Amino acid sequence: MTRDPDRAGRDWLLHDLVIDSPVLGQSWRVLVQAPSGSPPHRLPWIWLLHGSTASADEVGPVLTAAAEAMSSGDIAPMIIAVPDAPEGYRSSWWVDSSYAPSEPQPQSHVVGGFIASPGRPLERALLEDLLPAAETRFGPRPGAAQRTIGGISMGGAAALRWLIVRPDLFGSAVLLSPAAYDPWPSLDSSARATGAFGVGDTIFEPSRFRELMHYPTLLADRPAAPTTARVVIIVGDEEPMQSSGVAGDDLASRCDLDLAAARLHARLKERPDFHSSLRVVAGDHDWPVWQRGIVTALGILAGRELVA
């Protein structure tokens, strides 16, 4: 693949923004990586959601890899936004939770090694408050065709959800080792322990998970879209073994994320309103996979995949 000299040589700056969210009743932090100076034209955006127990700052290596590839002309320039989940909600799965424990307890408490917190409308706050406020600071807002939703692990599952249920906002998705479980999350997943899919006093309600995050259910309920959504899935071939506890043979109960990615890709291939690409690469559930993966995925979206 040849580099594009018109896209090379640009410096990329990281902006640390704090934006008020009326939905949450508090401010919310987001990192935005954008070119220095005035871009020659409106640039597309990618919103990248971090994984469970992580933060926006930890996504730095992925942002650096993308900036270097854009500066060299290997991939087309984009503005990348990484929201930072509020304290106590690092493993929120980016959803509007209905978990409301009645017994007095700390604002955030530890369950199964993860921090569990009373439910808050994180999805609504991000899409209604954070996204438009951040984008308007950098010029005219893009349409869905110019806006990609991306995510890592837990964030990848949320990104898939938003691509399916919000075609008015997102036209494509980059899913890096997505925790896209079918039918249920692994037994040790934060999805079962943080209240993200809780209802009332119940910290994990299977029907709530199915409603919010089970992608076959979301796909079945998706209204017809006028355009085809582009999806790129990147996953390492050494993902740890996981079990969902589903009865049956060992393979049926396994939900290793490389298996989950293949199942997701196969499901999307059945749909005329999605165009899915899957790349299984050497690596584990780790940052080197995601650093390489963001460059590969953005190249595929632009039709300019890097070939080693």
Could you write out the three-class secondary structure of 17-76?
EEEEECCCCEEEEEEEEEECCCCCCCCCEEEEECCCCCCHHHHHHHHHHHHHHHHCCCCC
pLDDT at position 50: 98
CB environment 230-241: b (16+ within 10 A), e (fewer): bbbbbbbeebee
Give the whole-angstrom CA distance, residue 275 versus residue 42.
25
Q: What is the pLDDT of residues 159-177, one digit of tens each?
A: 999 999 999 999 999 999 9
Alpha-carbon distance values, 130 to 29, 83, 191 (Å): 9, 8, 24
Burial of 222 (0-12, 13-18, 19+ CB in 10 A): middle
pLDDT at position 3: 40
pLDDT at position 156: 99
How many domains does one find in the chain? 1
Query: What residue has token string 């043979």?
Result: 249
Is 207 a member of any domain? yes
Q: What is the pLDDT of residues 123-148, one digit of tens each?
A: 999 999 999 999 999 988 999 999 99
Give the whole-angstrom CA distance, residue 130 versus residue 83.
8
Is 307 a member of any domain? no
Is 121 a member of any domain? yes
Give the whole-angstrom CA distance, residue 292 versus residue 225.
31
Identify the domain containing residue 59 by its residue range.
5-301
Give the residue among 153, 152, 161 at the shortest CA–CA distance from 63.
152
Is 222 a member of any domain? yes
Is 280 a member of any domain? yes
pLDDT at position 179: 98
CA-based radius of gyration for the chain: 19
Q: Are 234 and 175 in contact (CB under 8 A)?
A: yes
Is 308 a member of any domain? no
Write the CATH number for 216. 3.40.50.1820
Is 68 a member of any domain? yes
pLDDT at position 304: 76
Is 42 a member of any domain? yes
- With a cut of 70, list the residues of the chain below it in pLDDT: 1-10, 38-41, 104-112, 247-249, 306-308
